[in-house]
Chains A and B, each alone.
Chain A
Amino acid sequence: MSEWRGIWVFVEQDDGELERASLEILTRAGELGGKFNEEVYGVLLGHELSGIAEEASRYGADKLIIVDHPELRHFNSDAYTEVLSYLINKYRPRYMLLPATRNSRDIAGRLAVRFRTCLSAHVISVDIDEKDRRLVTAVPGFGGNIVATVVCTGGKPEMATVSPGTYEARAGSKRAVLISETVPEELIKKRRIELVGKERTQMIDLSRAERVVVAGLGTGGDLELINEFAKLINASVGVTRPLADMGLVPRDYQVGTTGVSLRAKLAFVFGASGAPHFVYGIRDCGTVVAVNTDREAPIFEHCDYCIVADLFEILRALIKELRGG
Chain B
Amino acid sequence: MALGNIIVTMKVTPKPEEIRFDPVKKVVDRSKATNEINPADKNALEMALQIKERYGGRVVIVSMGPQFWDQFILMGIAMGADDAVLISDRALGGSDAFVTSKVLAAAIKKIGNYSLIITGEESSDGSTGQVPPGIAEWLGIPVVTYVSQFLEVGEDYIVVKRTIKGGSETVRVKLPAVLSVELGCNNPRFPDFERLNWAKTEFKLTVWGIKDLGLTEDEVGFKGSLTSVTELRELRPRERLRQFIEGSPEEIARELIRRLGLK
Q: Is the pair A192, B163 in contact by a Cβ cutoff of 8 Å?
A: no
Complex CA–CA separation, A305 to B163 (angstroms):
35
Q: Which of B98, B165, B249 contacts A112 (CB 8 A)?
A: B98
**Contact A150-B243, Cβ < 8 Å, known A108-B130, A193-B142:** no
Query: Which of A148, A200, A313 has the most CB atoms of chain B within a 10 A radius of its CB?
Result: A148
Q: Which of A192, A200, A288, A305 contacts B259 (CB 8 A)?
A: A305
Q: Is the pair B257, A322 in contact by a Cβ cutoff of 8 Å?
A: yes
Q: Mark A105-135, 1 if CB is under 8 A from B, else 0.
A: 1111110111011111110000000000000
Count B interface residues, CB 8 Å: 80
Q: Is the pair A192, B142 in contact by a Cβ cutoff of 8 Å?
A: yes
Q: In the complex, what residue of chain B is closest to A103 when comparing beta carbons?
A: B164
Q: Is the pair B163, A250 in contact by a Cβ cutoff of 8 Å?
A: yes
**Contact A109-B167, Cβ < 8 Å, known A78-B142, A283-B237, A321-B257:** no
Measured between beta carbons, the chain B residues less than 8 angstroms from A1 are none
Q: Which of A141, A244, A287 contacts B127 (CB 8 A)?
A: A141
Q: Is the pair B173, A193 in contact by a Cβ cutoff of 8 Å?
A: yes
A interface SS class:
mixed
Measured between beta carbons, the chain A residues less than 8 angstroms from B146 are 102
Query: Which of A14, A102, A289 has the most CB atoms of chain B within a 10 A radius of its CB?
Result: A102
Measured between beta carbons, the chain A residues less than 8 angstroms from B174 are 192-193
Measured between beta carbons, the chain A residues less than 8 angstroms from B227 are 118-120, 150-153
Q: Is the pair A152, B21 in contact by a Cβ cutoff of 8 Å?
A: no
**Contact A150-B170, Cβ < 8 Å, known A113-B134, A276-B17:** no
**Contact A303-B240, Cβ < 8 Å, known A103-B164, A146-B233, A203-B166:** yes
Measured between beta carbons, the chain B residues less than 8 angstroms from A114 are 137
Q: Is the pair B170, A196 in contact by a Cβ cutoff of 8 Å?
A: yes
Complex CA–CA separation, A101 to B129 (angstroms):
11
Measured between beta carbons, the chain B residues less than 8 angstroms from A279 are 237
Q: Is the pair B166, A306 in contact by a Cβ cutoff of 8 Å?
A: no
Complex CA–CA separation, A306 to B125 (angstroms):
30
Complex CA–CA separation, A211 to B171 (angstroms):
36
Measured between beta carbons, the chain B residues less than 8 angstroms from A68 are none
Q: Is the pair B129, A194 in contact by a Cβ cutoff of 8 Å?
A: no
Q: In the complex, what residue of chain B is closest to A134 when comparing beta carbons?
A: B228
A314 within 8 A of B: yes
Q: Is the pair A202, B250 in contact by a Cβ cutoff of 8 Å?
A: no
Q: Is the pair A102, B167 in contact by a Cβ cutoff of 8 Å?
A: no
- The smallest beta-carbon distance between B215 and chain A, in angstroms, is 15
Q: Is the pair B165, A102 in contact by a Cβ cutoff of 8 Å?
A: yes
Q: Which of B177, B226, B229, B232 contacts A154 (CB 8 A)?
A: B226
Measured between beta carbons, the chain A residues less than 8 angstroms from B2 are none
Q: List 6 other contacts, CB 8 Å, given A19-B165, A142-B19, A258-B122.
A: A122-B129, A198-B164, A276-B17, A277-B17, A301-B242, A308-B244
User: CB within 8 Å of A: which residues of B?
Assistant: 14, 16-17, 19, 21, 28, 97-98, 101-102, 122, 124-134, 136-138, 141-146, 159, 163-174, 177, 182-184, 225-235, 237-238, 240-246, 248-250, 252-254, 256-257, 259-260, 262-263
Residue contacts A-B, CB under 8 angstroms, 25 given: A14-B165, A77-B133, A77-B144, A105-B129, A109-B101, A109-B132, A109-B133, A112-B130, A119-B128, A122-B128, A142-B19, A147-B232, A149-B231, A151-B230, A192-B141, A192-B177, A194-B172, A198-B164, A198-B170, A202-B166, A251-B163, A252-B165, A303-B240, A305-B243, A318-B256
